[in-house]
Structure 1
Amino acid sequence: MPTLNWIGKDKVVNHHLDVPYRTLDTQYTFQSCKQTAGDSAPNMESDNLIIHGDNLEALKALLPHYEGRVKCIYIDPPYNTGNEGWVYNDNVNDPKIKRWLNNVVGKEGEDLSRHDKWLCMMYPRLKLLHKLLAEDGAIFISIDDSEQANLKLVMDEIFGANNFVSTVIWRKNYAPKSSAKYLSEDHEYIIIYTRKLTDWAINLMPRTEKQDKAYKNPDNDPRGLWRPNNLAARNFYSKGTYSIECPGGRIIAGPPPGSYWRVSEEKFWDMNRDNRIWWGKDGNGVPAPKIFLSEVKQGVVPQTFWSYEEVGHTQEAKKEVISILDSQASDSVFSTPKPVRLIERILQLGSKPGDIILDSFAGSGTTAHAVLNLNRQDGGKRKFILVEMEDYAETITAERVRRVMLSNFTPPHQLHIIDDQPETESFSYCTLGESLFDEEGNINPAVPIEKLREYIWFTETRLGGTPQLYKPQSPATHEDAGTSYWLGTCDDTAYYFCYEPEAATTLNLSLLTHIRERAGQYIIYADASTLADTFLQQHRIIFKKIPRDISRL
């Protein structure tokens, strides 16, 4: 398989492993129910997250709870067009990206072209997104011609060429740009990959009134609406050349020249006896097999060309952002946002009502808006995770989501306040907290003990999920302080994390007297051990030294 090489690639191929694991700190939780609308609830956590921070570190921080659980990822990364005026600085000269490149790629980074920089920035992020994606999930990436070819090769390398689904063309403009140097670009691409194509199934598009309009029932068939189909086809069929006598007496000598009847003569008359052939009002028409609406797919196979009439255009997207935020500033910040209808189409194809959706280049929060819209339409419980590194994460991204939750956004670009909100909608606003380890590899004493316990539990068991579902056991379930080290038991293995921020812990006979859980095997973390290897083996104990034996994500 062809692979893409660029300056700095060798420095970033495994860089996702070196990204420090940082905690996620909930700053507040917003709820839309009238009793608490607008209130901050710092002690609560929502299934919906908006994270302010570098998306590389944020994706790493999500691993303990979400690895392999995200069903649909949509990202709209910088297109790398060289346009300095865009907030993302999409020629990748943003100071934050430049500092990152200097640290990771080193002096070699001084010679990078803007394409090298873009690839260095994207590669580790795509590696982490691959880890977060469920095996039956899909990732949708918006891009234009600036990096489309490079992105396709990188995605083949990370996700596998055999997991490529298709490339969608979205017509984003409805009028040519007179300022275009050569051709006015009317389209962008959406590249689609799965984690494992054999496990993924795309959803059908709902049928439209226009598609169903052709179905009628002029003969009052009790099976309901139907439409006539063409009996003739161009494909050769050895049994498809017979003559037909119509009920009205007309003789049809055979199919039109160069074509054949679709079914054999025997099959044709069987269909007629079942009233599945339409002969026209006078009984002398060319016979047409009936296709009943009740028997066709209750959905439409999606196509790869999406027009702005179907899914919106960039001007519509700008009006949406301005209408919701009621601020002209948002127009200057987001010159090319995505319309809600476009993201709704992606979520309709790639998610189900209970799935987790992730957008790590969140921008103005369109993805969350689309999730809320779909949930309101079908009663679903989709959950969103947004990551935004820019300073407007709270004032624009979170603010837009907050206002949508308190309102009913209805095209064309009007915001209607809901007086009787049916259910509570919420999100937790998070920032990146402390790094778990310092530069020497030691545990950072500033990290809360519960965050350490959750991390150890995940790296040992790979039980991802929300903290409510997979949180390590509470120390309060034990009788004395010594057994507060117990994390939980999984697959007949009991896990203990014997750690004290201010003192060293030792695995010895005294500590073992506090081990109360019955299990086939024990994995015990401590700073040191005084027990002989033969004793440990005899009692099915695996000792792991802190911090040496703590796995790095």
Structure 2
Amino acid sequence: MPILRWLTRDEDVRGAEKVPYRLMEEAPELGYGDQNSGNMLIQGDNLDALKALLPYYAGQVKCIYIDPPYNTGSAFEHYDDNLEHSKWLAMMWPRLELLRELLAEDGSIWVSIDDKEGHYLKVIMDEIFGRKNFITNVIWRKNYSPKSSARHFSEDHDYIVIYAKEADRFVPNLMPRTEKQNKAYKNLDNDPRGPWKTSDLSARNPYSQGRYPITTPSGRLIEGPPGGNYWRVSKENLEKLDHDNRIWWGKKGDAIPQIKRFLTEVKQGIVPQTLWSYDEVGHTQEAKKEILALFKKDVFITPKPERLIERILHIGTHPDDLVLDSFLGSATTTAVAQKMGRRYIGIEMGEHAVTHCIPRLKKVVDGEQGGISEAQNWQGGGGFRFYRLGPPVFTEDGQIQPDIKFPVLAAHIWFTETGTSWAKQNDQTPFLGNHDGHGYALLYNGILGDKAAANGNVLTRKTLAVIRAAQGDFEGPMTIYGERTMLSEATLDAEQIEFKQTPYDVKART
């Protein structure tokens, strides 16, 4: 497979490894509404934030939508969109790598882009996600009138590049049928099965039983299919269909036969198409009007309309699925996710995470009626928690910081050992769980709440008994982390225990 080379590629493809794991520190005073809705708004560099999310959300995100800087030279107030090409690739590569780790096995990632970097984006995403996992390239017509100031062509569209984590497991939802599509179905013969439309009974493909004469109800003889083609069905099956009133012979009963397809028997949805017009999903002017209605001024140059994000989330998610946008901008993705009953994580580095994203989401929680609210029957509800990025979890030599709390270290150990997110963040027991027949436990920070040696951080017969009591029915081998062990090697072998010492055996996963 071809790969893309640029000046700093060798360093950039290892960029995600060098990003430190950071704590996420909640600012409760900036959250709003129901704090248990499962929604997060994070302020900070999205590269650091994505790495911080891995221990908790790896493999959990159903749909990722990002609208990164297009590298067009535009003077963005909130982003440096005048990045030199190599720097743009250096910025995108590690972020895409981390996004892939966060994506669920049946999940998808959607990236808005234009012609300036779109083709380069496709090549690096082929590398990161695998070319076989490329789904399609949607064309969104974003302008409804030509730009007379354009030097060469008026650019009327953007692209949305779509990849799956595993293409074989990604199943896009069907689009609802439109009134226009349904109007094509009539009921010319008052069939009790309701409206229908016809489809051709002849085809070019050879069929051994597809050549025979037909006599119409009016007595007209039709020697064979028109144009030397073949009938799609045998004479016997044609008679059965006719007996069931599934053949249309025309109003006078003398037309070439056609098969009746009933509206009640067709799929109640249609396969998504790759050309999206502005009358279906909105345009840039609509998006700007939505922003003006919210903030009373045009604070973002290229916002996306809510209808566009609604289309993406309709195809790529179901209610309560987790959605992620790491270039949150004006918070359109999270606003739409809230209105559609999806959980979300939004990441924004600028101060407008506080000055713009929070106010917009507060309005949504309170029942704001712009954008897709009416279409979704949105009446308000839900809420979000607000986080900022804190200090690194590990020191420069890869050891854990001494003041790290148990749940944070437990999540990192679980992710390091299993490559999956830790689902028991509220459990205050030393047994973390089992993965693929192997158990993991952590004795740290007084988790046992007793006065035993090192506050219970030492593996002894007593602390092992507590771990065994917490592991339930699990009986397999186990890795236990602790300050030290007082059990002999023979005992560890007999108990099928691998002991690892904190902090020396706790490493940052790269």
Q: Give the structure-1-normalised TM-score.
A: 0.82
TM-aligned CA deviation for residue 508 of structure 1: 10
Tell me which of 450, 464, 469 is aligned to 1:515.
Answer: 464
Number of corresponding residues: 496
1:425 alignment partner in structure 2: 382
1:478 alignment partner in structure 2: none
1:536 equivalent to 2:492? Answer: yes
The amino acid that maps onto 1:549 is D
TM-aligned CA deviation for residue 457 of structure 1: 3.8
Percent of aligned pairs with the same amino acid: 48
With over 3 angstroms needed to count, the CA separation of the structure-2 counterparts of 1:456 and 1:85, relative to structure 1, is: closer
With over 3 angstroms needed to count, the CA separation of the structure-2 counterparts of 1:160 and 1:457, relative to structure 1, is: closer
1:391 equivalent to 2:391? Answer: no
1:488 equivalent to 2:432? Answer: yes
1:358 alignment partner in structure 2: 324
Alpha-carbon contact 2:479-2:500 (below 8 Å) kept: yes
2:27 alignment partner in structure 1: 27
TM-aligned CA deviation for residue 255 of structure 1: 3.0
TM-aligned CA deviation for residue 127 of structure 1: 0.5
2:175 alignment partner in structure 1: 205
SS at match of 2:130: helix
1:75 alignment partner in structure 2: 66
1:345 alignment partner in structure 2: 311
SS at match of 2:369: strand
Query: What is the alpha-carbon distance in structure 1 between the residues aligned to residue 461 and residue 309 of structure 2?
Result: 55
With over 3 angstroms needed to count, the CA separation of the structure-2 counterparts of 1:90 and 1:279, relative to structure 1, is: same
Query: What is the alpha-carbon distance in structure 1 between the residues aligned to residue 69 and residue 9 of structure 2?
Result: 19
TM-aligned CA deviation for residue 463 of structure 1: 5.2
Question: Where do residues 291-310 of structure 1 align in structure 2 (5 Å cutoff)?
Answer: 291-310=261-280
1:254 equivalent to 2:224? Answer: yes
1:220 alignment partner in structure 2: 190
The amino acid that maps onto 1:488 is L
With over 3 angstroms needed to count, the CA separation of the structure-2 counterparts of 1:411 and 1:25, relative to structure 1, is: closer
With over 3 angstroms needed to count, the CA separation of the structure-2 counterparts of 1:539 and 1:472, relative to structure 1, is: farther
SS at match of 2:105: strand
Gaps in structure 1 of 5+ consecutive residues: 32-37, 93-113, 376-381, 476-485
| Worse overlay, 510-519 or 18-27 | 510-519
TM-aligned CA deviation for residue 90 of structure 1: 1.1
Query: What is the alpha-carbon distance in structure 1 between the residues aligned to residue 374 and residue 426 of structure 2?
Result: 46
Query: What is the alpha-carbon distance in structure 1 between the residues aligned to residue 372 and residue 431 of structure 2?
Result: 52
With over 3 angstroms needed to count, the CA separation of the structure-2 counterparts of 1:304 and 1:509, relative to structure 1, is: closer
Tell me which of 403, 412, 415 is aligned to 2:363.
Answer: 403
Q: Residue by residue, what CA displacement relative to the aligned partner does 1:269-288 show, whole Å, maximum 9, x if unpaired? A: 22101110112233223322
With over 3 angstroms needed to count, the CA separation of the structure-2 counterparts of 1:258 and 1:448, relative to structure 1, is: same
Alpha-carbon contact 2:309-2:333 (below 8 Å) kept: yes
User: Alpha carbon RMSD of aligned pairs, Å?
Assistant: 2.9
Tell me which of 142, 151, 154 is aligned to 1:181.
Answer: 151
Tell me which of 444, 451, 470 is aligned to 2:424.
Answer: 470
Query: What is the alpha-carbon distance in structure 2 between the residues aligned to residue 26 and residue 507 of structure 1?
Result: 28
2:104 alignment partner in structure 1: 134
Q: Residue by residue, what CA displacement relative to the aligned partner does 1:13-66 show, whole Å, maximum 9, x if unpaired? A: 1221221111222212778xxxxxx66x8xx44401111111011111111121
1:91 equivalent to 2:46? Answer: no
With over 3 angstroms needed to count, the CA separation of the structure-2 counterparts of 1:510 and 1:395, relative to structure 1, is: closer
Q: Residue by residue, what CA displacement relative to the aligned partner does 1:492-512 show, whole Å, maximum 9, x if unpaired? A: 6351323579xx959998844
TM-aligned CA deviation for residue 403 of structure 1: 0.8
Query: What is the alpha-carbon distance in structure 2 between the residues aligned to residue 391 and residue 324 of structure 1?
Result: 17
TM-aligned CA deviation for residue 416 of structure 1: 13
Alpha-carbon contact 1:324-1:404 (below 8 Å) kept: no
With over 3 angstroms needed to count, the CA separation of the structure-2 counterparts of 1:499 and 1:233, relative to structure 1, is: same
Tell me which of 232, 236, 248 is aligned to 1:278.
Answer: 248
With over 3 angstroms needed to count, the CA separation of the structure-2 counterparts of 1:412 and 1:512, relative to structure 1, is: closer
Alpha-carbon contact 2:174-2:272 (below 8 Å) kept: yes
Gaps in structure 2 of 5+ consecutive residues: 448-452, 469-474
With over 3 angstroms needed to count, the CA separation of the structure-2 counterparts of 1:252 and 1:499, relative to structure 1, is: same
SS at match of 2:303: coil
SS at match of 1:361: coil
Query: What is the alpha-carbon distance in structure 2 between the residues aligned to residue 534 and residue 472 of structure 1?
Result: 34
Query: What is the alpha-carbon distance in structure 2 between the residues aligned to residue 500 and residue 443 of structure 1?
Result: 16
